[in-house]
Structure 1
Amino acid sequence: MSQTFAATAAAELAVVERSGFVESRHVGSAIVLAPDGEVAREYGDPGALILPRSCMKPIQALTCLAVGAPLEGERLALATASHSGTDRHVGVVRDILAAAELTEDALACPPAWPSDAATRHELVRDHGEPARVRMNCSGKHAAMLLACRTAGWDTEGYLDPSHPLQVQVRELAERLTGAKVAATAVDGCGAPVFAMTLSGLAKAIHRIGTSSVSSPFALHRNAGTLVEAVRAAPWTIAGPGQPDTIVIERLGVFSKGGAEGVHVMVAPDGTTVAVKMLDGASRATAAVGLRLLELAGALDAADVADTMSQLPLAVTGGGRDVGAIRPAF
């Protein structure tokens, strides 16, 4: 059975402090790539296999572009998002589906409540129900359906690993990571997710995050366009108060979190970070990524501190802040 690294190979990446007492510790692996792509720092075992979860979405979105899907601006940003299901997000997802001449019933992701609290409460008051279009991966699924329509492929079974679209996703993942896919699993949304090393994921995201829209190569042009789309509309990638949206808005960092404690970031200068928390917790990943970018000299310490103050890192007791989740560095 394929598996990720063991606890004995992990490094301490973050701690949870309550009233001056370190209550919990998060261990995992992390890697930092310099702007030129060379390894600058490593923690734990970045060479071990992981499932990238939603950090693979940029690769999936680029595959949709490669087959000709007409995605640009907010549509393109939603294709790589783990959105919080607000009406604004849903509006763009429905726009992508309309371009494919499909309805929400074509989405193969499971129905879900929006993760945005205000939107969820409003739906409950209006006697709404979970919907596929509210699911955080619905933008990716809509983009995949549009790609299938564009390429002339069957939209039925578009999540099957043997479907032409998923075969191309796999091939692009291998091209960007520089290694063959080690295993295939089913992601939470039902799409295939391909096992790769954390260092391979960092390499792929570095290539995407440092691409230029003026590149002579189509893949790099598409990647540059994708990153520009996300940076131009940070609300698309996650939502109000969500770490990725906050980090992009404040620092211009291309930031993408995934389930089970995976997170990738690319600073404006190209410095790249990939993090995997072994316990699957995501509450500290953005903070760890930002601190690693700061230590690498890619971000100003004051800017990082200001941004971290906006992230949900506070530990509360009796209705007041009594501590914080913080990087272990």
Structure 2
Amino acid sequence: MSVELVEVVRSGFRECVHRGSVVILDADGEPEVALGEVHLPIFPRSTNKPMQAITLLRNGFEPQDEAELAISTASHFGEPDHIALVQRLLDRFGFTEDQLECPPDLPSDEVARAEALAGRDRAKAARRIYMNCSGKHAAMLATCKINGWPTTGYLHSAHPLQQSVSATIAEITGEPETDLGIDGCGLPIVPVSLVNLARAYAAMTTGDAGTPQRRVAEAIRNNPRVISGTDGPDLLTMRATPGLVCKIGADGVHAGALPDGRAFAYKIDDGHDRARMPLTQAILRRMGVEWTDAHADLATPAVLGGGARVGLVRAVPGLFG
């Protein structure tokens, strides 16, 4: 059963609580902390993206630079630098935006969204390239072209690329291939337990130099803005924690690892984003990272009343002993 992880306190009163499951691994890949249902499969959502990118490298995709590899793992905010990277990747392999099979969307960044909507109907303003997974889809198109695979229908589970993705995730996580779901961008999603999701991230940060696993880890670590955006949770957390590689997933999933292989993964049951940062910072503190003012600020976001701070969101006191 899941446990209470994060609470919302307003005017000294516990107003809400977010339940979920969390695992923290030591450098040998063994659980130091296991709260809730850490051995049951979840949909990892976008925490799967690094493993999908590893598959692309194994199948011959060679990014022009590290930023291009990072955008292939991104849940980007649709800001101009993100769009430029995706467009460059499409151009390099001779594709157009219309060949992306992710759904049209608007940027998640407020400024970029306002610019996209300026003077336009919402439906007409939405574009496939704005969708936060467009970098991954562009890199998948490139990989299909390199291998002579069909570039239409590349998101179907029977496509050779998705067969390779499923096999790679099974190998890295150590979990058998199983029934697939469909992610928000239309691609197949592989269920994975939190324990093995954390182990997959540890395998990336401890992989040998030059291997696909290590290349993906370094691209994420060195380009935190590319994989997220202005004030994104991964950007802020990695800036505060040198060496950390982490990636959020929709509906309350987060996973990450330090260079020595210590790792974490969690799932918030109700998927609420406000629980994410307090829990991530509490996990990092439990893992023994150097605690800074930046971590402290991220650990206790404000609850507002009348425009003033009247409370906070925080990890449940005593969560990790």
Q: TM over 0.5, yes or no? A: yes
Which residue of the partner structure matches residue 5 of structure 1?
none
Q: Is 1:31 matched with 2:23? A: yes
Q: Is the 8 A contact 2:201 2:257 kept in 1?
A: yes
Which one-letter code corresponds to 2:274 in the other structure? R
Q: Is the 8 A contact 1:49 1:197 kept in 2?
A: yes
Match in the other structure for 1:316: 304
* Structure 1 residue 224 corresponds to structure 2 residue 220: no
Q: Which residue of 2 aligns with 1:254?
A: 245
2:194 — aligned with what?
Answer: 198
3-state secondary structure, aligned to 1:284: helix
Q: Please state how far the C-alpha of 1:312 moved relative to its aligned partner.
A: 8.4
Matched residue of 2:248: which SS? strand
Aligned equivalents of 1:109 and 1:23: distance in 2? 38
Range 263-272 or range 237-246, more displaced: 263-272
Paired amino acid for 2:315: P
- Work out the CA distance in 1 between the residues paired with 2:88 and 2:119: 23
Residue 108 of structure 2 corresponds to 115
The Cα shift of 1:152 comes to: 1.2
Contact 1:67-1:147 at 8 Å conserved across structures: yes
Q: CA RMSD in A?
A: 1.5
The answer to whether the Cα contact below 8 Å between 1:250 and 1:307 also exists between their aligned partners in 2 is: yes
Number of residue equivalences: 312
State the one-letter code of the partner of 2:112.
Answer: T
1:1-329 aligned within 5 A: 9-71=1-63, 72-127=65-120, 129-214=125-210, 221-252=211-242, 253-297=244-288, 299-301=289-291, 303=292, 305-310=293-298, 313-328=301-316, 329=319
Measured in 2, the distance between the counterparts of 1:277 and 1:183 equals 22
Distance in 1 (CA, whole Å) between partners of 2:90 and 2:57 is: 15
Tell which deviates more after alignment, 183-192 or 63-72.
63-72
Report the secondary structure of 2:273's partner residue: coil
Partner Cα separation in structure 2 for residue 308 and residue 26 of structure 1: 20
Q: Tell me how far apart the structure 2 counterparts of residues 312 and 65 of structure 1 sit (CA, whole Å).
A: 39
Deviations 1:70-110 (A, max 9, x none): 12411100111100000110000011111221000010111
- TM-aligned CA deviation for residue 126 of structure 1: 4.8
Offset, 1:309: 1.2
What is the CA–CA distance in structure 2 between the aligned matches of 1:250 and 1:269, rounded to whole Å? 17
| Cα shift at 1:250 | 2.2
1:14–1:327 contact (8 Å) kept in structure 2: yes
TM-score when normalising by structure 2: 0.93
Equivalent position amino acid for 2:310 in 1: V
* Letter paired with 2:216: L
Q: Which runs of 4+ in 1 moved over 4 A?
A: none
Give the deviation of 1:311 after TM superposition: 7.0
Q: Judging changes above 3 Å, is the alpha-carbon distance between structure 1 residues 259 and 38 closer, same or farther for their aligned structure 2 residues?
A: same
Q: CA deviation at 1:308?
A: 4.3
CA contact 2:205–2:260 (8 Å) conserved in 1: no
Could you tell me whether the CA contact under 8 Å between 2:66 and 2:219 is conserved in 1?
yes
Give unmatched runs, 5+ long, in structure 2.
none
SS of the residue 2:69 aligns to: helix
TM-fit CA distance, 1:160: 0.4
SS at match of 2:125: coil
Letter matched to residue 323 of structure 1:
G
- Structure 1 alignment gaps of length 5 or more: 1-8, 215-220
Contact 1:257–1:263 (8 Å) recurs in 2:
yes
Q: Give 1:182 shift.
A: 3.0
Residue type of the alignment partner of 1:161: S
User: Aligned residues: percent identity?
Assistant: 38
Describe the shift of the 1:296–1:251 C-alpha distance in structure 2 as closer, same or farther (beyond 3 A): closer
